[in-house]
């Protein structure tokens, strides 16, 4: 069995072709024009949302260690994970799936722990789950880290009554049998859950339905999900990637019958290569797919607008991220879809967030998959260890954009691996995130403001000479943000970007 430290050392030895040093090429100047007065839309904090599924060790052994665990915990929640996620400021957290949602029955996860049934997780390895982490535990986790809960409801194997009762159980203040049961289970105050997914991937693991079939199911389920004290925001299952046929079939079937509040597509950047063994070609192929996701947002939003010009239907991407190749020995040790996270992963996370910022007026939420250990994770946890991944820091660098207004930024290179820029403004602060996704070409970003003058600028960078570099339990701080130079003079801000780097600058204008 290969340990994480072995993988890390091997990655450093074998990456000469994969991660050339920045000194091998001269910096190329890239001109950027930033228009502080040309507004795109508010960058909702929910665009920086996250997703935690009962998959591998994301929940059990990751977020949840149990109340009697020797691992430091807060009422069963891994304390180090809570501290890290609270510091990151996760705005919204989606749960319990994913595919798991459409075989999850919420009553299994309430009441005394000793009475909760053990169920087989049919989607992810036939593991037996004891349901010790259920509705109350998830809401408690969200309260601990400051996140808004987003529940994914069971349409695939559930019933309208089951989902309707879950809404009442969570949201009705008091006086009904279900609200009294919630109180008896330790929560007299309603949970006030706003976001409800009506099914998940119903074109696939959620029932293998046609869009027309799913629309019929959606109408049946949504019709009973009423305002039990908190108006629900109902999210319909959108397409796999940019499947126009699914969206058109669903929306055609919904005309005159009421549209959902939200419509969620899923978009993964797959490249089934071991995470620390990416070559330059592998990395380029994967990172290029973020341009395809950007096209999907534009095209899906335009298609929804053709049915709903007033944009009453919000567009979400509630699963996204890089999906690398799994290593069987690591999955055996750490759980299904356990995935190491490298600088290249962080660049992918930053590219996705830049896409969301540039299209802030078209989107209402994004949820990267997933929070701990699985796929594009923010944290890696095992036994009593818990570390932050490079992608955690990509989100940390993007945090200053939240709640600001996205503004227009133009570059001279629109190719998928060209300099990526997003910009936002609030009062006299302009925030710029610049990403160099190329493995071999350092860039000098010459940013010109079309209005106003730059009084000062400060910046931080996430970079390592090896794009396969990863934080491990032995070296948890190998890839971390550091202060970076940013020159501000008149209407210009100049920032150097080595290959495979992320820089966020705060500019006083």
Active site residues: 201, 319
Q: Calculate Rg over the CA atoms of the chain.
A: 23
Strands 443-449 and 482-484: unpaired
Cα–Cα distance measured from residue 222 to residue 228, given in angstroms and rounded to the nearest whole number? 13
SS3 487: strand
Cα three-residue angle 389-395-398, rounded to 5 degrees: 150
Closest CA to 202 of 285, 263, 161, 280: 263
SS3 388: strand
Cα–Cα distance measured from residue 242 to residue 313, given in angstroms and rounded to the nearest whole number? 17
- The dihedral of CA 438, 509, 424, 448: what is its sign? negative
Tokens representing 103? 């075989």
Cα–Cα distance measured from residue 81 to residue 118, given in angstroms and rounded to the nearest whole number? 25
Query: Which alpha helices (H) appear in 255-323, and where do they start and end?
Result: 280-307
Closest CA to 240 of 267, 263, 271: 267
**195 burial type by CB count under 10 A (0-12 exposed, 13-18 middle, 19+ buried):** buried
């Amino acid at each position: 069995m290969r340990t994480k430290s072995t993988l890390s050392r091997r990655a450093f030895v074998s990456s000469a072709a994969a991660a050339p040093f920045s000194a091998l090429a001269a910096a190329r100047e890239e001109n950027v024009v930033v228009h502080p007065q040309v507004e795109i839309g508010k960058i909702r904090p929910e665009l920086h949302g996250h997703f935690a599924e009962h998959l591998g060790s994301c929940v059990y052994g990751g977020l949840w260690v149990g109340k009697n665990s020797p691992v430091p915990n807060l009422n069963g929640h891994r304390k180090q994970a809570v501290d890290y996620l609270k510091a990151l400021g996760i705005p919204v957290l989606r749960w319990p799936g994913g595919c798991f949602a459409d075989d999850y029955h919420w009553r299994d996860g309430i009441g005394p722990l000793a009475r909760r049934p053990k169920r087989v997780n049919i989607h992810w390895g036939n593991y037996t789950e004891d349901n010790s982490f259920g509705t109350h535990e998830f809401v408690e986790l969200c309260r601990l880290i400051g996140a808004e809960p987003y529940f994914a409801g069971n349409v695939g194997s559930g019933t309208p009554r089951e989902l309707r009762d879950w809404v009442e159980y969570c949201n009705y203040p008091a006086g009904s049998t279900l609200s009294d049961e919630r109180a008896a289970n330790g929560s007299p105050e309603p949970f006030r859950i706003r976001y409800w997914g009506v099914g998940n991937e119903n074109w696939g693991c959620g029932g293998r339905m046609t869009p027309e079939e799913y629309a019929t199911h959606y109408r049946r389920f949504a019709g009973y999900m009423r305002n039990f004290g908190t108006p629900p925001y109902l999210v319909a299952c959108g397409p796999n990637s940019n499947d126009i046929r699914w969206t058109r079939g669903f929306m055609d079937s919904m005309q005159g019958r009421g549209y959902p509040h939200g419509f969620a597509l899923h978009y993964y950047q797959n490249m089934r290569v071991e995470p620390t063994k990416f070559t330059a070609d592998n990395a380029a192929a994967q990172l290029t797919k973020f341009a395809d996701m950007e096209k999907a947002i534009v095209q899906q939003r335009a298609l929804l607008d053709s049915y709903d010009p007033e944009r009453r239907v919000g567009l979400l991407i509630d699963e996204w991220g890089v999906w690398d190749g799994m290593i069987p020995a690591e999955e055996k040790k750490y759980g299904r879809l356990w995935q190491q996270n490298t600088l290249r992963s962080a660049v992918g996370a930053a590219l996705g967030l830049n896409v969301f910022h540039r299209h802030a007026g078209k989107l209402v939420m994004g949820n990267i998959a997933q929070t701990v250990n699985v796929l594009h994770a923010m944290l890696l946890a095992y036994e009593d260890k818990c570390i932050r991944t490079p992608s955690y820091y990509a989100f940390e660098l993007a945090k200053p954009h939240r709640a600001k207004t996205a503004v227009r930024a133009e570059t001279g290179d629109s190719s998928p691996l060209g300099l990526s820029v997003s910009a936002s403004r609030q009062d006299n602060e302009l925030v710029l995130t610049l990403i160099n996704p190329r493995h071999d070409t350092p860039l000098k970003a010459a940013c010109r403001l079309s209005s106003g003058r730059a009084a000062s600028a400060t910046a931080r960078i996430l970079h390592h000479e090896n794009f396969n570099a990863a934080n491990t339990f032995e070296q948890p701080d190998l890839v971390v943000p550091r202060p970076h130079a940013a020159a501000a003079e008149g209407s210009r801000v100049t920032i150097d970007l080595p290959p495979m780097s992320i820089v966020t600058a705060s500019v006083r204008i």
